[in-house]
Structure 1
Amino acid sequence: MHLIVGEDGLARPPWAATDPLLRAYYDEEWGMPVRDERGLFERLSLEAFQSGLSWATILRKRPAFREAFAGFDPDAVAAFDEDDALRLMADAGIVRNRRKIDATIGNARATAALRADGGLPALLWSARPATTPVPSSFAEVPTQSPESVALAKALRARGFAHVGPTTMFALMEAVGIVDTHLVGSHRRGTSGAWLPDGAPDPRFAAPGARAAA
């Protein structure tokens, strides 16, 4: 079963059909364009923490992550030191993984440095493909793409960590750079960035982009 029609008459994938938190995330946030630096830094950080865990776990911990990481203000996180890293490792409200904590601090510094070369929004949105997938089943949803491979390479070259091609494709899905809502879902084509047939919405303007290479 690829989609489940809820009591409200709306079709959603099974992962978003029952849990109220995941349903609200799917209906209101997942796949909607994020174009500001702080919002993208938060999503990039959470996707890195999610690796090896369920997204529901990360979503339930997001308020604690926001408190622990200064609202994901890149400048504030870039200033974190060893005492902050130890504080985070002692925080049971977040995922206590030292490598991911260190990567997030390092990525904040890389985000700040990237402003001199166009900024994080421009770099991430440079990965937007000419067309987006049009999947009718989960088997047709990619886990990475040539664009996510190029984006991962570009981010690593600029000092980012925990930004592999699969993680970057998940980020691209989450922030609207691609639309992988299944055909028939009530969310398909609703982001304003993509039409239901996979073509770009001509009314949408992405941030100014530099080549991801």
Structure 2
Amino acid sequence: MRVLMIEDAEDLAEGVVAHLGRSGVVCDLATSVEAARDFRAVQGYDAILLDINLPDGSGLGFLDEIRGGGDRIPVLMLTALTAVEDRVAALDKGADDYLGKPFDQRELEARLRALVRRDADRKSEQITLGPLVYAPKDRSATLGGKRLNLTAREAAVLDALIRHEGQFLSKARLYDSLYGFEDADVGVNAIELYIARLRKKFSGSGVAITTQRGVGYRIGLHG
């Protein structure tokens, strides 16, 4: 899971980033609305943690911008404004949940995972690529009707590739998908190993992972 946190209280934000990281959640931090726009321009996210009072604008205004563009990404508001009217205003503008400061990190993580899980249930339960059928919910896959035996790391790399079918993902981006594994002290080049293993599993199926030197890897149907 990858989330974007938009929060200018850096001590608080760094604590959240560290806590989520230990749980296997990649969390990018933007300290302003403008920085958040820049992050979203180059990176996709599973959810957004959004403060209301930001140095260059209102989080509610940014939420309006997101929803106005038709984006239904889960948004969890984080703010010191805890009056009922503030909560109602955020929810009316399209927020999915609301958590007042100060908060318990465990509750934040639980609410975040619930929102992402709800969003996943709302979307298609399976992604199909030719003979490959992938279930994001439990990161399982079948190929030609037979279940693939995937390690957790292989499944994480496949998850990133198939969610961005047709797009090249860099080694660094794929390495991000492994963030949070307890022994994730391996280098970025270890991605080559997981790609090789997946290619071997897909051999002869028509599903291929192609490489563009200096750019990255892309999954698709061969020919």
Name the TM-score class by shorter chain. Answer: under 0.3
Q: Which has the larger radius of gyration?
A: 2
Give the TM-score normalised by structure 2: 0.27
Q: Which has the higher contact order (CA 8 A, sep 6+)?
A: 1
Larger % of strand: which?
Answer: 2
Give the TM-score normalised by structure 1: 0.27
Larger % of helix: which?
Answer: 1
